[in-house]
Structure 1
Amino acid sequence: MISLDDLWGRLFNFENYGELLALVQNSLIAGAILGIVGGLIGVFVMQRDMAFAVHGISELSFAGAAAALLFGVNVVAGSIAGALVAAIMIGLLGSRARDRNSIIGVLMPFGLGLGILFLALYPGRSGNKFGLLTGQIISVDDPQLVWLTGISIVVLAGLLWMWRPLSFDSLDADVAAARGVPTRFVSLAFMVLLGLIVAVSVQIIGALLVLALLVTPAAAALRLSASPLWVPVLAMVFGFVSAVGGILLALGGSLPISPYITTISFTIYLVARLMGLRTKTRPGLR
C-alpha cells in the first residue's frame, strides 16, 4: 500500500528540475505547437459534432504506430498512415451523422485490437509500447520534432485556407451546399487535416487520451463565448496551457505525461463551465 508521502513524491518531485528541463525542450516545442493547432481545429470538431471521430481516428493511428514499431520503420509515419486511412474512410462513408457513428464504432475496436496485437508481437522495451497509449515526455527527438512541426504547419495552413467555407459548412451544411460551397470536398479535406493532427498528437499524449488536446480546450472555449473571434483564440490558449503545463508538471514526477495534460485540460473546462453559468446572462466575450 502506497503512503501519501510516496504518492506525492511520485506526482511532484522537482529535484534537479533545471537539468531535467533541458531534456524536454523538443517536447515543450512540440506540445506548444500541438496545443495551439489542436485547440484551433477542435473548434470545428465541436461545431461539426465529431468528437467521437477524433477517438476513432486515434485508434487507427495507434494501430499504425504499433505496426511501424513492430516492423522497425518510422513510428510517426506509421501513425500518420493509420490516421489518414481512418479519416478518409470516415469522410467518404460517413456523410450522415448516423452512418459516421456506425463506421467509427466499427473502426475503434478494430484499430485498438490490431494495435494491441502488434504490441504483443513487438519484442522491444515495454516503455515504447506503453508510450503509444499514454504518451512519453522525452520521446520527441530532433527528426520527430521536424515531422511534428511540419505537419502542424500544414494543418494550420489548410485550416486558414479553407476557413470561410469550412465555417459555413460546419454551421449549416445544407445552406452551404445550396450556396455553392463544395461541401463534399470541404468535409473530406477537413478529415484529412484532422487525421494529420491526431496522428502527431498521439506522439505526445498517447492514443487513449488525445481528446484532451483536440476536444476539451474547444469545449471550454465554447462555454465562455460564442464569438467567432474569441472561441478560436480561447481554444488555442487553453490547448497551449494544457500541453505545456502538463509537460512541465510531468517533468517533476515519475508518471506518464497524459494524466497531467488531461487534468489541466479538464480543470480548465470545469472552470469555464462554471464561469459560463455565472455569465450566461451578462455581457462579456459573447
Structure 2
Amino acid sequence: MNRLTDALSRFFEFELTGELLGYPFVQQALLAAAALGLVSGVLAPLVVTRRMSFAVHGTAELAFTGAAAALLIGFSVGVGALAGAVLAALLLGLLGQRDNERDSVIGAVLSFGLGVGVLLLWMNPERTANKFTLLVGQIVGVSSSDVTLLGGAALLVLVVTAVLYRPLLFASVDPHVASARGVPTRVLTPVFSLLVGIATALGVHVVGALLVMALMVTPGAAAIRVTSSPARATLLSVVFAEVAALGGYCCRWLPAFR
C-alpha cells in the first residue's frame, strides 16, 4: 500500500489536488468535461456506424462560426456555438439525405463556416488569446451559467437518444431495410444530425472546434473495434470518452505539466 502511495505521489501532489478541487472553476470544469464525455460517448458509436465523421467536422466549423459571431457582438459564446451547430445540423440533415450528395453538402457547409468564422475573428478587436480559445477551448473559463447550459443540452440529447435509440440503431446499420420496414429514416436523419450538432456545440466551448471531432468519433470507433454488441460498444465508448475528457483535464495537475 505504501509503495502504491509513493508511486502515485510522484504523479499527483495530493495536498495540492485537494486544494484545487475546492475551487469553483475547477469543479465547473470537471462537470463540463463529464457532461461532454457522457454525451459524446453515447453518440459516437452511432456517428461511426452512420459514417458521419466528416459531418461532425462540418458541424464543428459552423459552431465555431456561431461562437465567433457571439464573441463579436458580445453575446454568450456557448449560445452562439449552439446556434451555429444547430444551423449546420439542419442543413446537413435536410440537404444531405442522399448518400451521393452528402459529401458535397458537407464540404460546402464546412468551407462556408470556416471562411465566415475566420472573417468574424478578423473583425473582432479583442485580444488574439480570446479568439484562440474558440479553436482549442477554454475549459477553465466555463462559468456556472455555462455548466447549466451544458447540463440542460446534454440531458436533452440523452433523453431524445434513449427514446429513439432502437430505430436510430436500425436505420444506422441498414437504412434501406429500415425504411422498408416502416422506420421513418428521412425524419431520423435530421433529428440525429441535430443531436450531433448540439453535442458538437457543447464541445466547442470546452475543447475547441479543432478537438471536438476527436471526442465525437474516436471513442465510438475504438469501442466498435473491441465489441460487436451495440450496448457494450456504447458503454465502452462512454468510458473512453470520459477518460479522455476528464483525464485530459486532470493531467494538467501533474507536476511535469506545471
Please report the TM-score for the alignment, with normalisation by the length of structure 2: 0.90
Change (3 A) 1:28 1:124: same
Aligned residues with identical type, % of pairs = 47
Change (3 A) 1:59 1:148: same
Change (3 A) 1:253 1:130: farther
SS of aligned partner of 2:139 = coil
* 1:39-93 per-position Cα deviation (integer Å, ceiling 9, x unaligned): 1101110010000000000000000000000001111111011111111111011
Match of 1:199 in 2: 201
Match of 1:114 in 2: 116
2:57 alignment partner AA = H
Report matched runs for 1:1-286 at 5 Å: 16-21=16-21, 22=23, 23-252=25-254
* 1:158-185 per-position Cα deviation (integer Å, ceiling 9, x unaligned): 1001011101100111111111111111
Change (3 A) 1:85 1:253: farther
SS of aligned partner of 1:208 = coil
Change (3 A) 1:174 1:69: same
Moved over 3 A (4+): 12-21, 251-255
Change (3 A) 1:153 1:55: same
The 2-side partners of 1:85 and 1:53 are apart by 13
1:119 alignment partner AA = L
Contact 2:139 2:205 in 1 (8 A): no
Structure with a larger share of its residues in helix: 2
Structure 1 position 25, deviation (Å): 1.0
Structure 1 position 193, deviation (Å): 0.7
The 1-side partners of 2:147 and 2:213 are apart by 21
Change (3 A) 1:98 1:189: same
Please report the TM-score for the alignment, with normalisation by the length of structure 1: 0.81
Structure 1 position 250, deviation (Å): 2.7
The 1-side partners of 2:230 and 2:139 are apart by 34
Structure 1 position 254, deviation (Å): 10
Which sections of structure 1, spanning at least 5 residues, go unmatched?
A: 1-11, 256-286
Which sections of structure 2, spanning at least 5 residues, go unmatched?
A: 1-10
Contact 1:17 1:252 in 2 (8 A): no
* 1:100-122 per-position Cα deviation (integer Å, ceiling 9, x unaligned): 11111111122111111111111
2:114 alignment partner AA = L
